[in-house]
Amino acid sequence: MQVGLKIWRYDSKTGDRALREYEIDAPEEATLLDCLDIVKDKHDGSLAFRKSCRMMICGSCGMRMDGGAVLACKVRMYDIAQEGRVPVIAAMGNLPIVKDLVVDMDPFWEKMRAVDPYLKPRYDQAQERENVIPAPQMSVIHKESLCINCGCCVSECNSMEVDPDFLGPAALAKGMRFVGDPRDGATIERLEKYSEPHGLWDCTRCYFCSERCPKGVDPRDAIAKLGAEAMKNGIDRDMGAKHARWFVTSAKTTGWLRETELVPKTQGIVSSIREMKFAMGLAVKGKVPPPFPPHVAAEVHESRALFDLVKSQDRNGAAGIVQGEKALGRIESHHDASRGRDPYTEADSAPRPYLPSEREETEGVTP
Amino acid sequence: MEPTYDVLVVGAGCAGMRAAIEAHDRGASVGVISKLHPTRSHSGAAEGGINAALGNTAEDSPEMHAFDTVKGSDYLGDQDAIEILAAEAPGDIYQLEHWGAVFSRNGEGRLDQRPFGAAGSPRTVYAADITGHVLIQVLYEQLQRRMTQGMKVYEEFFAFRLLVEDGRCTGVISWDLMNGGVTLIRGKSVILATGGVGRLYRATTNAYACTGDGMSMALREGLPLKDIEFMQFHPTTMYPSGILITEGCRGEGGYLINKDGERFMQRYAPNALELASRDVVSRSETTEIEAGRGVNGSVYLDLRHLGPEKILTKLPGSRELAMTYAGVDPIYAPIPVRPGAHYHMGGVETDNQGLTGIEGLYAAGEVACVSVHGANRLGGNSLMETITFGRRSGHAAAEYALGAPAVGNGGEAARADAETWIKSLLGNTQGERPWSIRDELGQTMLDNFGVFRRPEKMEQQVEVIAGLRERYDRGVVIEDKGDVFNTDLTQVIELGYLLDIASCMLQAGIARKESRGAHSRPYDFPERDDANFLRHSISHWKGDGPELTYGEVRMTKWEPMERTY
């Protein structure tokens, strides 16, 4: 098949950037990575990109296609070529470009190192055999342990674009991998560290990381779990934690969000006084409801019943974060058991397996 | 003065990282060079698991593990090395678990173990079907911890020459991929852990990086390669990409069927069926395909009867691979598979401490041949080898280095010489591009030196390699002339490595006039010949090509028997 690609070339020596178009002949099963290989082999040997396993596990070939991060080896080109689309390929975002599609991953790894990315064992003395841990306890970190460090999440992170010091989705997911591990003994120390400025509360919850992750790690979910664990352990100095806590209190007591109290509860009194002028401006335009007396929702008992229900489930901390998990799981696995397909009786089904000996018994023939 | 370490490790997959950790923990200063970032190493693509006789699922013992491995090796494995592997494996697994490896657990919360091919007990510890990934991650975590304590990792440094002074290896010359330039890094001892050479074959499970770098570097310094004709063909690699589908699929109960739906393995291995040894299954598949009972040059791996839940929990990665690269959801349809080059049983000859024939030079993992795999490796044993023998070589190299004299001063001349060579490669403007030689080599190796080896095809392949070598020596053109991330340069050097190893394989393969393990000659020597070939082939590089001799197999308590499954 004919495949067209536009590739952003970059020369770090001169700083020159150029969008070059390539027209190549590729086999129908070709991935984007295969196509880049063909460009390098037969069209321009100076094209630079990283590659190794070509099976979605080494994490080398993160890059951008039409503005979003992908693993090049995971993108099949057939449909794109059939539609006549010519995708634009570029280096990942939020990391310095070294050459063409190769970025400098050092900032990525520096942040990884900042979360102490290794087990700090709970026990003093090593056990003679393995630690005995019920499987469900390990499944808390199932998604986080799938990370291949490709950088696709970091490439798309909006917070990091504004604040390059933000720890970012990959490092925080790695952090959750240890906070959620029953064998790790540094939970509090970690949560304190990750709650510092540029830490977990600086995530803007845009979900681009979870959307772009090629492995289903779901970093935003990991960050939510870290936040919940931090609050469970009383680590809530950060405005983000205070903000979240006030949402809960407000909804529980009056059945809705008391916005005028949100600012002092989150930022503190002194900081709020500085916002008075802004608040007055809002009030003049009718944007601020009068704080006193607090408005109580008519059916507030329903809201309170919900809190009681959640409390009775005893899902504190990370265990309480179930938002979107099932839905994301389905997207990742593309599997819906309710479709009820029978893998053996459809028109194009492969034949039903049998052992030669069974056939001999039933038919009395030897093959 | 160049950077100097007590122990310098080349390659950062499972073996290299395990060696580096051990050397560091023994008090040595450690440097690690890798042409990839460590977590990109191909160990991470291992799927099914790692063998240790923990006995968590059923009764097991190191003795049983050792016997299965000896039998699997078609009696070519060195039995003392195999006994070491089997005995030390459980402790090494517990160590990994204590470091935080995220293995799958059984109902009691202990490490779960699944059945694997040719194993007498469910012995394979695993993490769903991404075991290699989990190991690479935990080892790199431990490496990062030690990087805060002085360990230095040179990522994306392409090692291409060993520095040997007065018969002792004291450093490695490499090309700095990020910045360009030829760099010498010194080590009082050096550990090669550069992996295999699957890229010799067009249909391979191996990553682009698996180009036999360490094997060729050692060969060119006069070291022998042992049993180099034994390339394992994995029975379930996807058509057409060659991407691996784990043996764990069959361990969990998957079937192999031909185009009629017949579970043909019953005719070849009536007891073990799909879980016979890999060489046996690959030969059976090839026989089916050659007899016209395949589909598109493949057979089917059928998981439909396992049901969605088992597939989604135990084999999610395999399902994702099948959906992405074969367009098949294994819940509803079988996966087209065929044998593909997977693992090199042969490699740089070492002793049980990983020491090669050069003082100060050690080797571990797929680059090495201790040998624990002999003529055929069992699934799950290679990851275990990387850990156990990685650790042992790290220990031995550190012990040697801590008592060794300082390195010499002769390095600069060697570095300058290497630089001149690189410049000459880059300066070449006449000739062909490397891909045409590389692709032809890969296709002909598959056609002429694959699962079944025909005498006339092997002879033909010797000619093909000679022709390709001539074209390569005439000069290939590197179009990228720059210093920054010049993989056009490194792929030309890698192609030279491939040609070296191919020559050795063919010579040793033609000379081995028997069928043993992965070396199968059904048309002229269909039987195993213990009288003449219960010996290791030993290949040296002399002048322009390889020279073959033989070495003894170390036997302890198992006499060769007929091998059936």
How many Cβ pairs within 8 Å bridge chains A and B? 206
Name the residue among B102, B209, B255 with its Cβ closest to that of A353: B255
Angle between helices B131-147 and A106-114 (to 10 degrees): 80
pLDDT at A126 over 80: no
The alpha carbon torsion through A156, A159, A162, A167 (nearest 10 deg) reads: -100
Which residue is it, tokens 């990020």?
Answer: B178
Structure tokens at A302: 């329903």
CB–CB contact A48 B263 (8 Å): no
> Which of B30, B461, B438, B51 lies closest to B208, judged by CA?
B438
> Which of A163, A317, A165 lies closest to A227, judged by CA?
A317
Count up the domains in chain A and report the number: 3
pLDDT at A209 over 70: yes
CB–CB contact A57 B257 (8 Å): no
From the centroid of its chain, how far is CA B21? 21
What would the pLDDT profile of B528-553 be if each residue is shown by its tens digit? 999 999 999 999 999 999 999 999 99
| Closest B-chain CA to A359 | B262
* A292 domain residue, yes or no: yes
For residue A282, the model assigns a pLDDT of 86
Which residue is it, tokens 């060119």?
Answer: B220
**Same domain for A13 and A92?**
yes
**Domains of chain B with bracketed CATH:** 236-338 (3.90.700.10), 411-540 (1.20.58.100)
Which of A190, A207, A232 is the C-terminal boundary of a domain?
A: A232
Structure tokens at B1: 């003065």
pLDDT at A323 over 60: no
Which of A232, A264, A282 is the C-terminal boundary of a domain?
A: A232
Name the residue among A12, A128, A346 with its Cβ closest to that of B484: A12
Structure tokens at B529: 């010949």
* A159 domain residue, yes or no: yes
**Same domain for A198 and A258?**
no
CB–CB contact B261 A344 (8 Å): no
**Same domain for A225 and A293?**
no
Q: Domain range for residue A304? A: 239-321
For residue A367, the model assigns a pLDDT of 43
pLDDT at B432 over 50: yes
Confidence category of residue A107, pLDDT binned at 50, 70, 90: very high
**Same domain for A15 and A99?**
yes
| CA distance to A98, A351, B88, per residue, from A7 (Å) | 15, 45, 51
Cα–Cα distance for residue pair B516/B533, rounded to 1 Å = 9
Other beta carbons within 10 angstroms of residue B172's beta carbon come to 25
Give residue A177's identity as a one-letter amino acid code: R
Structure tokens at A125: 């003395």
What would the pLDDT profile of A234-293 be if each residue is shown by its tens digit? 999 999 999 988 988 999 999 988 888 888 888 888 888 888 888 889 888 888 777 778
CB–CB contact A41 B484 (8 Å): no
Of residues B321 and A326, more confidence is placed in B321
Segment B14-32 mean pLDDT: 98
To the question of pTM greater than 0.80 for the whole model, the response is yes
For residue B410, the model assigns a pLDDT of 82
What's the CATH code of the domain at A157?
1.10.1060.10
Residues of A in contact with B259 (CB under 8 A): 351
DSSP H/E element including B443: helix B434-448
Cα–Cα distance for residue pair B33/B14, rounded to 1 Å = 14
Confidence category of residue A362, pLDDT binned at 50, 70, 90: low
Mark whether B278 is an active-site residue.
yes
Angle between helices B316-325 and B307-314 (to 10 degrees): 100
CB–CB contact A334 B323 (8 Å): yes
pLDDT at A336 over 70: no
> Which of A152, A156, A168, A151 lies closest to A202, judged by CA?
A168
Residues of B in contact with A345 (CB under 8 A): none
* A169 domain residue, yes or no: yes
**Same domain for A169 and A198?**
yes
CB–CB contact A52 B97 (8 Å): no
Confidence category of residue B280, pLDDT binned at 50, 70, 90: very high
| Closest B-chain CA to A357 | B266
* A130 domain residue, yes or no: no
**Same domain for A297 and A212?**
no
What would the pLDDT profile of B452-472 be if each residue is shown by its tens digit? 999 999 999 999 999 999 999
> Which of B164, B155, B208, B177 lies closest to B16, judged by CA?
B155
Segment A338-363 mean pLDDT: 82
For residue A263, the model assigns a pLDDT of 86
Confidence category of residue A333, pLDDT binned at 50, 70, 90: low
How large is the C-alpha radius of gyration of chain A?
Answer: 27
Residues of B in contact with A139 (CB under 8 A): none
What would the pLDDT profile of B222-248 be if each residue is shown by its tens digit? 999 999 999 999 999 999 899 999 999
| Closest B-chain CA to A55 | B243
Segment B258-286 mean pLDDT: 96
Q: What is the ipTM of this complex?
A: 0.96
> Which one of the listed residues B278, B516, B521, B528 is annotated catalytic?
B278
Cα–Cα distance for residue pair B48/B126, rounded to 1 Å = 6
**Same domain for A228 and A244?**
no
Residues of B in contact with A132 (CB under 8 A): 108-110
* A332 domain residue, yes or no: no
Give residue A196's identity as a one-letter amino acid code: E
Q: Which residues pair with B153 in a beta bridge?
A: B32
* A168 domain residue, yes or no: yes
From the centroid of its chain, how far is CA A54? 22
For residue B74, the model assigns a pLDDT of 97
Cα–Cα distance for residue pair A181/B138, rounded to 1 Å = 13
What's the CATH code of the domain at A53?
3.10.20.30
DSSP, residue by residue, A202-253: G-----HHHHH-TT---HHHHHHHHHHHHHHTT---SHHHHHHHHHHHHHHH
Cα–Cα distance for residue pair B237/B341, rounded to 1 Å = 9
Peptide bond before B371: cis, by omega within 30 degrees of 0?
A: yes
**Same domain for A10 and A65?**
yes
What would the pLDDT profile of B133-191 be if each residue is shown by its tens digit? 999 999 999 999 999 999 999 999 999 999 999 999 999 999 999 999 999 999 999 99
CB B377 within 8 A of CB B353: no
**Same domain for A205 and A188?**
yes
For residue B138, the model assigns a pLDDT of 98
**Same domain for A60 and A77?**
yes
**Same domain for A220 and A259?**
no
Contacts of A323 (CB under 8 A, 6+ apart): A221, A224
DSSP, residue by residue, B114-125: E--TT-SS--EE
Residues of B in contact with A360 (CB under 8 A): none
Min distance B237 CA to chain A CA atoms (Å): 12
Secondary structure (H, E, C), B448-513: HCCCECCHHHHHHHHHHHHHHHHHHHHCECCCCCCCCCCHHHHHHHHHHHHHHHHHHHHHHHHHCC
Confidence category of residue B65, pLDDT binned at 50, 70, 90: very high
For residue A366, the model assigns a pLDDT of 46
Which of A103, A120, A143 is the C-terminal boundary of a domain?
A: A103
Of residues A265 and A49, more confidence is placed in A49
Structure tokens at B375: 């003529």
For residue A165, the model assigns a pLDDT of 97
* A110 domain residue, yes or no: no
Of residues B493 and A139, more confidence is placed in B493
Segment A173-187 mean pLDDT: 97
pLDDT at A360 over 80: no
Segment A94-123 mean pLDDT: 97
* A99 domain residue, yes or no: yes
Structure tokens at B72: 């699997």
CB B508 within 8 A of CB B453: no
Cα–Cα distance for residue pair A358/A345, rounded to 1 Å = 20
Per-chain mean pLDDT for chain A: 90
